[in-house]
């Protein structure tokens, strides 16, 4: 997996995490997923690597979530959630960082230290 931050420039947490990475001189790709959505394979891998429950990576309080009539209790298969996130990237929790085979959500922003300091 490449070293990447899945980044939203309007998100203060994304900006803070990117600033930490830059301050530590960590070479990382900035992937603006709202401009260029994450492909289904990559998103599936991210979720699998994080080993999180789907409810953790979905922004269920977003208006779009309500517009789609979704609920975190929906009995959807993982591949269905991946497609929903691919088609509606504003629903993806942020920022997500992949570094040296570690992947995690940097919310709170201090989570970045566990990701960059961990041995995969």
Look up 106 and say whether it is catalytic: no
Catalytic residue of the set 11, 34, 40, 50:
11
Round to whole Å and give the CA distance between 104 and 57: 10
Instruction: For CA atoms 73, 78, 81, 85, give the dihedral sign.
Output: positive
Buried b (16+ CB within 10 A) or exposed e, 8-30: beeeebbebbbebbeeeebebee
What separation in angstroms does the CA of 119 have from each of 66, 96, 103, 113? Answer: 39, 18, 11, 12
- The catalytic site residues sit at 11
């Amino acid at each position: 997996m490449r070293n990447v931050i899945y980044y939203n420039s309007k998100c203060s947490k994304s900006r803070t995490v990117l600033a930490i990475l830059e301050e530590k001189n960590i070479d990382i790709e900035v992937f603006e997923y709202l401009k260029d959505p994450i492909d289904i394979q990559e998103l599936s891998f991210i979720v699998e690597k994080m080993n999180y429950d789907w409810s953790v990576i979905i922004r269920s309080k977003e208006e779009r979530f309500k517009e789609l009539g979704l609920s975190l209790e929906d009995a959807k298969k993982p591949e269905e959630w991946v497609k929903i996130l691919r088609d509606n990237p504003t629903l993806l929790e942020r920022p997500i960082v992949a570094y040296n085979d570690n992947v995690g959500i940097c919310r709170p922003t201090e989570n970045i230290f566990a990701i960059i300091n961990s041995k995969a």
